Amino acid sequence: MSILVVGTVAFDSIETPFGSAERILGGSASYFALGASFFAPVRIVGVIGQDFPQEYLELFSQRQIDLEGIKKASGDTFHWRGRYHEDINVRDTLELHLNVLSGFVPDLPERYRDAEYVFLGNIDPLMQLEVLNQIRRMRLVVCDTMDHWIRESLDGLRQVLKRIEMLVVNDSEARLLSGESNIVRAARAILKMGPKVVLVKRGEYGVLQFSDSSIFATPAYPLEEVFDPTGAGDSFAGGFLGQLARSGDLTQQGIRRAIVYGTVVASFTVEDFGVKRLASIAMQDIEERYRSFAQLTDFHT
């Protein structure tokens, strides 16, 4: 069962307490696609500029990611610059250059329009809506967003929220979107905006899942070294939706397993700069860490 993702394909410049990197491959769609590609075939919809290197595209191709939906436009690629604090959960956006992303109107290749599993990655909500309008039938739509879009494009985002099943946000985004400081109240308020499930990412503290009838909590996988947290959220979503597409199991139990797969994929992402670690692992590594995660959280009531 294939997955369609729309989001940014970007250059990232990153500073962490452990080092820095300039103009490396990043973007919400890139991290999502690489994370999901271990589980199911992935198709990307996005835009790059003339300056985007072929070697980055080859990295996607090596993982069998379908690139027909990536448009090459005249201009420069989206570029994000961020800096992490000593407390690695805290980051500042230093620069955000939309470049070719401003004015981009997604136009899905015909064979993408029957997508059953859709991830509306972090991008302008108006582009997320455009993608939804072009898809004929969907089984599950999961959406991500960011403080930038909550501030700049709230009306569009509210329209998106009415048309999706699940929203993935981090704790500060959940607070900003809902106006509630308590995270449980924030999630409840967001559920009223449309989605049936809200997943709140809390960095090294893990993920909380809310629906009308249940709450589920998982920790992050404990690592001795977190090198670069960029893309943790997007690759979490990749592992999560990848597992749902692979299993077809959308029951509460199936969703819980998918959350753990997402957590495991994200734990690899943060072990090195950019997509480096994600590009070097195999499904077997994910399965092994999934089993050790089960041990970590196993107890009998």
Residues that bind ligand AMP (CB under 6 A): 8, 10, 12, 26-28, 31, 80, 96, 122-123, 146, 148, 230-234
Q: How far is CA 126 from the centre of its chain?
A: 18
List C-alpha distances in Å: 46 to 70, 83, 161, 242.
5, 25, 21, 19
Helix pair angle (28-36, 54-62), 10° resolution: 30
Q: How far apart are CA 5 and CA 29, in angstroms?
A: 6
Cβ closest to ligand AMP, residue 116 vs residue 130: 130
Rounded Cα distance, 38 and 42, in Å: 9
Q: How far is the CB of 82 from ligand AMP (least distance, A)?
A: 7
Query: Mind telling me the catalytic residues?
Result: 234
Nearest to 230 by CA among 60, 76, 10, 39: 10
Q: Which residue type does 97 have? A: H
The least distance separating ligand AMP from the CB of residue 126, rounded to whole angstroms, comes to 12
CB of 277 to ligand AMP, least distance (A): 14
Partnered with residue 10 across adjacent β-strands are 26
Q: Measuring CA to CA, which residue among 246, 290, 242, 282 is closest to residue 264?
A: 290
Residues 6 or more apart whose CB falls under 8 angstroms from that of 213 comprise: none
Minimum CB–partner distance for residue 248 and ligand AMP (Å): 26
Round to whole Å and give the CA distance between 47 and 100.
Answer: 7
User: Of the two residues 102 and 284, which places its CB atom closer to ligand AMP in the complex?
Assistant: 102
Residues 6+ apart with CB under 8 A from 86: 17
Minimal distance, residue 23 CB to ligand AMP, in Å:
11
Beta bridge partners of 168: 144, 199
Q: What is the CA radius of gyration of the chain?
A: 18
Q: Rounded to the nearest 10 degrees, how much is the dihedral formed by the CA atoms of 91, 263, 231, 252?
A: -100
CB of 300 to ligand AMP, least distance (A): 35
Amino acid code (one letter) for 127: M
**Which residue number, 22 or 249, has a Cβ lying nearer to ligand AMP?**
22
Cβ burial of 215 (10 Å; 0-12, 13-18, 19+) is exposed
